[in-house]
Chains A and B, each alone.
Chain A
Amino acid sequence: QVQLQESGPGLVKPSETLSLTCTVSGGSISSYYWSWIRQPAGKGLEWIGRIYTSGSTNYNPSLKSRVTMSVDTSKNQFSLKLSSVTAADTAVYYCARVGEAYDYWGQGTLVTVSS
């Protein structure tokens, strides 16, 4: 059974860079697309972007200038960096596998942007 686990700081200061890692267990990270999705409290899901294990990426146009995704197949991990964060970036961040659509999800991690 594939499992995903997000990790990273739960508190980030405004203007700094949010960094999260998703560790995949129970299966190989290879030959799949992997995504980051976020959800502000009480609001809907927002697609951030996806990365293939080759490193090819697609990003949400509204976040593209601030987003960088990377993958480390040796560690079965992929990562998200979001720069110049503001309070509007406060949300639960999910990582997910793109198999049959988003078929496996992490439990989500709350990231708060505050000084």
Chain B
Amino acid sequence: QSALTQPASVSGSPGQSITISCTGTSSDVGGYNYVSWYQQHPGKAPKLMIYDVSNRPSGVSNRFSGSKSGNTASLTISGLQAEDEADYYCSSYTSSSTDVFGTGTKVTVL
């Protein structure tokens, strides 16, 4: 199975909004509403930020939001803060009953 495609890096200034894309196929992202997003700081385990395309777990800031259109899912971070600087990964369920992660995106706060 091929990894979902994410941009290698995205940057923005404090207070701005940024969007990270996650492109798959009709056999994964496009076929199921089981897309999730994870934030990973250096040396730490990933943290769930969004599940089932657009749902936020308890405790996650409402500055994080998710959406999907066709085979591409997106994570938007609004009101960008220094603490948002991290790596972000998407994940999707697939038609083979497996999961697949995205290639990862490094977010830089300028």
Contacts and interface: CB of A to CB of B under 8 A. Distances in A.
Nearest to B103: A44
Contacts of B104: 44-45
Interface residues of A, number: 22
Contact of A101 (B48, B97, B103): B48
Majority DSSP secondary structure for residues of A touching B: strand
Nearest to B1: A61
A35 interface: yes
Interface in B25-47: 34, 36, 38, 45-47
Contact of A61 (B55, B96, B103): B96
B69 to A, nearest CB: 20
29 contacts: A35-B99, A44-B101, A44-B103, A45-B38, A45-B46, A45-B89, A45-B91, A45-B101, A46-B101, A47-B91, A49-B98, A50-B99, A58-B97, A61-B96, A100-B48, A100-B51, A100-B52, A100-B57, A101-B36, A101-B51, A101-B91, A102-B36, A102-B38, A102-B46, A103-B48, A103-B51, A105-B45, A107-B45, A108-B45
> Which 4 residue pairs spanning A and B have beta carbons closest together?
A101-B36, A101-B51, A105-B45, A44-B104
